[in-house]
Structure 1
């Protein structure tokens, strides 16, 4: 039976999920999406995502692909409201569109961008959406250290151990903190990311902001390639996947 490949653009609040990827003992975004798509299109649908966000991590832009059969262009165009009605309020499908039969949501992505949010004063409306940091930080020193990241490609020191990646090399093209309201937003863009990489980087840069280490120490940490030398991972609640780039998908929702 003939099938077509589709990209599904979605966003989600990850607070109540055990990450994106299907787990044997936990509710995940992928499981909810697969169920909604299968129910709506009346066929078994298995999605493959552009990456793997951990438990509690959010995404304002995420892509998955799936192969569907016997679906007209008119049905696809009208499908988004019906699929969203089957999904929990914390997941929203934004668009569905056809792509080439060999298009791949994970391997075709040329860049990804994450943001990490933290705030300094208790705010009930930021619970599970930003990290409450109780203390003062030197943002200029943090950005000076963040700039060092652009000079390296091996980030073993910021990766979880025992991962199944073939390389720990990544090319970071942007890494910077900005003061926004009562807090900070750290934006980082690279061609790929390692597991836990962004949270470990932020944890290390927080140490710089507190005056515990300096830029030269960050250089030594990176060159050590040793995870135990870097800072602790910051909480998942502040992390957002905000952009995924493909050579054949135009999306100007965020530029870094």
Structure 2
């Protein structure tokens, strides 16, 4: 028995997120089915990040155990011939038997893209959130700075989450505009359910002038979801990379 790691990229538009569920097709389901057919044994993958419906990824990480004789680094080629075009295995390799994508210490980087223009752009509609009111990215950047460090992010976690400990650390957060696209990029040791989308929604309110940047500090201290901004749409969010022990996948 050996453990294989996959680095998975996908367009999440038509999927009901990563995790298996009864009401729609998911990334995990497609991987399980494709691997089971390829290897002729029952395969169940374990993913690092259970991205939501409509959320994309460039570098999610998954592992599975198998008796296959196919070298780990060759599995990506075999899988990509069988997977739909909106799911791609960017790398595959054998890893230590105790490697677990969620339990091992890691850093995750997400980006949230906003199309801030007078009219929508059709080619951007699946990969960014459209806002036609002018956004002040400098105000957003000022507000984002209050989130850096270790904090209790309970205000930025969707109600109903089963997580007991809501303390997380954000190592870096940036807000940059390139033309009509504003990109919010966050790197942290972990993120709560909908945390990045709620942060994005709160920063958008700041950029619109609805709340002052310093208000974000108060929202953190309240530890109450009702004080933060709305959850931004899923299509703007992409899991960019995951780093384990100074290795980026």
TM range (shorter): over 0.9
Q: 2:34 aligns with which of 33, 36, 47?
A: 36
- Runs of 4+ aligned structure 1 residues displaced above 6 Å come to none
Q: What is the distance in 1 between the residues matched to 2:75 and 2:204?
A: 44
Greater mean alpha carbon deviation, residues 81-90 or residues 229-238: 81-90
Q: 2:104 aligns with which of 108, 117, 127?
A: 108
5+ residue gaps, structure 2: none
* Structure 1 match to 2:73: 77
* Structure 1 match to 2:146: 148
TM-score (norm 1): 0.93
* Structure 2 match to 1:234: 232
Calculate the aligned-residue CA RMSD, in Å.
Answer: 1.3
Report the Cα offset of residue 173 of structure 1: 0.7
Q: 1:88 aligns with which of 59, 84, 108?
A: 84
Indicate how the Cα distance of structure 1 residues 140 and 36 shifts in structure 2: closer, same or farther if over 3 A, else same: same
* Structure 1 match to 2:10: 12
The question of whether the paired residues in 2 share the 8 Å contact of 1:200 and 1:234 is answered with: yes
How many pairs does the alignment contain? 247
Deviations 1:108-136 (A, max 9, x none): 14110100001123211112111111111
Q: What is the distance in 2 between the residues matched to 1:93 and 1:239?
A: 19
Normalized per residue, which structure has more strand?
2
Deviations 1:133-167 (A, max 9, x none): 11111111111110000144100000012212131
Aligned pairs for 1:100-179 within 5 A: 100-121=96-117, 122-179=120-177
